[in-house]
Amino acid sequence: MEKKKTKKVDRKDEIIRLKNVAKWYKAGDEIVKAVDGIDIVIHKGEFVAIVGPSGSGKSTAMNMVGALDIATKGDIFLDGINIEKLHESDLAQIRGRKIGFVFQTFNLIPTLTALENVMLPMVFQRVPYEDRVERAKELLGKVDLSHRLTHLPNMLSGGERQRVAVARALANNPEVILADEPTGNLDTKRGEEVAQMFNKLSDEGKTIILVTHDMYVAKHADKIYKLKDGKFVR
């Protein structure tokens, strides 16, 4: 683990804890240990980067933290709740309220405008239409895209699409933002802009978990954890 900078964080105020978490897959007669017993504690407001080469288990670990996948063994606590013990309906509610996702490929709906893409997560939380519009406009302004409200994704640059994706991740005001290679499809300048955006969100109190193979981007984080062969290494 490498420390980037010191941030005032209440050590009692943890939001995520992984205890001996593993994810194993069966491939023919072999067992593939994508994640092989990891422990980590993340506190509210921290910006944490998980780095490692392709196949090291980074995305698998993030998917389990985000309740997108179930661990083979171990416990994952989110805000004190062991999400490994919850039913899928409860997991879906947690994903919708507590976690925002940002992906390398943006995952925007191509037939929806920037405004409509940001409004979409709020539909599932039954936010009234007028409130959805107001919140989406506010968030797109926050990422400097007030002039792109009615643009479809194919009318936006890669950097703009990723900023829409960040705004969408913030739609339901989640406590945690999970970002999986969010700068992977961006040039250096646009990648730097997105990384700085995560710094700002962390300073505002959001907990950021960034998965990346790019050490230049990772150095924006408060802490860097390195994964190799499914385990954290120093």
User: SS3 for 153-202, per residue?
Assistant: HHHCCHHHHHHHHHHHHCCCCCCEEEEECCCCCCCHHHHHHHHHHHHHHH
Q: How many Cβ atoms sit within 10 Å of the Cβ of residue 79?
A: 14
Domain of residue 118: give its range. Answer: 2-233
The tens place of each residue's pLDDT in the chain, 234 residues long, gives 444 455 555 556 899 999 999 999 888 888 889 999 999 999 999 999 999 888 888 889 988 988 888 899 999 999 999 999 888 888 888 888 899 999 888 999 999 999 999 999 999 899 999 999 999 999 999 999 999 999 999 999 999 999 999 999 999 999 999 999 999 888 888 889 899 999 999 999 999 999 998 888 999 999 999 998 888 886
CATH number at residue 221: 3.40.50.300
Q: Supply the pTM of this predicted model.
A: 0.87
What total of structural domains would you count in the chain? 1
